[in-house]
Amino acid sequence: MPAKTEMTLDRVLSRYGIASRTASREAILAGRLRVNGKVERNPERWVDPGRDVVELDGKRLRPVSKTYLLLYKPKGVITSHGDPDGRKTIYDLLGADGRWVAPVGRLDKDTSGLLLLTNDTEFGHAVMSPESKIKKTYMAKVNSLLNDQVIAQLARGIEMKRGDWAAPESVRRLEDRGKYTWLEIVLTEGKNREVRRMVEAAGFKVLKLVRTRIGPLTLAGLEVGKSRPLTRREIAALRGR
């Protein structure tokens, strides 16, 4: 059995805030890491960070400071480190601030709004876990005027394609504007494209989607495409203490 201080090589990079587990494995498989002077390509290799010398691109790994960012993601920007088609990503917006952070959950290309990024993997997992019950609030523009019965159906929960069940915390009408209804939808889970899929399951389509809140965090005072660090109070509130 490995000692309690030991962990797999990919987890070392993740715990040190260097990269996500996926990015860590890619770096290891590419031969960018050395353990005690020898190239190591096995992400499952057990090492003791306090005893073994682990180097990435010739530099010894050391824990980096924990970083917590809030980004106002614009529509049309991809939540990804890179894109083979050359489309703009969130890291183009973050610049040097985004060097070590990974997104906490995702927003699809056509969704704008609040996106958290951090190199604190345990914090990120806690925020996204359904067990945390942290509320994520969205504003959705729907392609029709919805009656009260449809909104009540969405609020009760609805079966989506592939048998997934959407169980929102709440759904309410914000306003009817022209031919469209704007909804506020609050979720406590993080299923892929859940808002769009639940509206589609009711027979309609989301034309515009903005995430406006995660727990106590809002977009207030933040311009589209800009980011800011979280305050200690905000971090503590998301941790529930």
Q: Which residue ranges form the domains of the chain, and what is each CATH number?
A: 7-60 (3.10.290.10), 68-130+217-239 (3.30.70.580), 135-214 (3.30.2350.10)
Provide the pLDDT confidence category of residue 2 given band limits of 50, 70 and 90.
Answer: low
Q: Is the pLDDT of residue 129 over 90?
A: no
Active-site positions read: 108
Sign of CA dihedral 87, 210, 185, 137: positive
Secondary structure of residue 161 in the 3-state scheme: helix
This prediction's pTM: 0.78
Identity of the amino acid at 10: D
Do the strands 68-73 and 111-118 form a parallel or antiparallel pair, or are they unpaired?
Answer: antiparallel
Mean pLDDT of 214-218: 94
Do the strands 158-159 and 217-218 form a parallel or antiparallel pair, or are they unpaired?
Answer: unpaired
Query: Would you give the DSSP letter of residue 40?
Result: -
Provide the pLDDT confidence category of residue 21 given band limits of 50, 70 and 90.
Answer: confident
Q: How far apart are CA 175 and CA 173, in angstroms?
A: 6
Query: Would you give the DSSP letter of residue 215?
Result: T
C-alpha distances in angstroms, 31 versus 28, 36, 43, 56?
5, 14, 10, 9
- % residues pLDDT > 70 (the chain): 95
Report the length, in residues, of the chain: 241
Q: How far apart are CA 218 and CA 204, in angstroms?
A: 27
Q: Is the pLDDT of residue 96 over 90?
A: no
- The three-point CA angle 160-161-164 to 5° equals 55
User: For 216, phi and psi rounded to 5 degrees?
Assistant: -85, -5
pLDDT at residue 3, as a whole number: 54
Higher pLDDT, 9 or 138: 138
Q: How many CA atoms lie within 13 A of 77 on its CB side?
A: 21
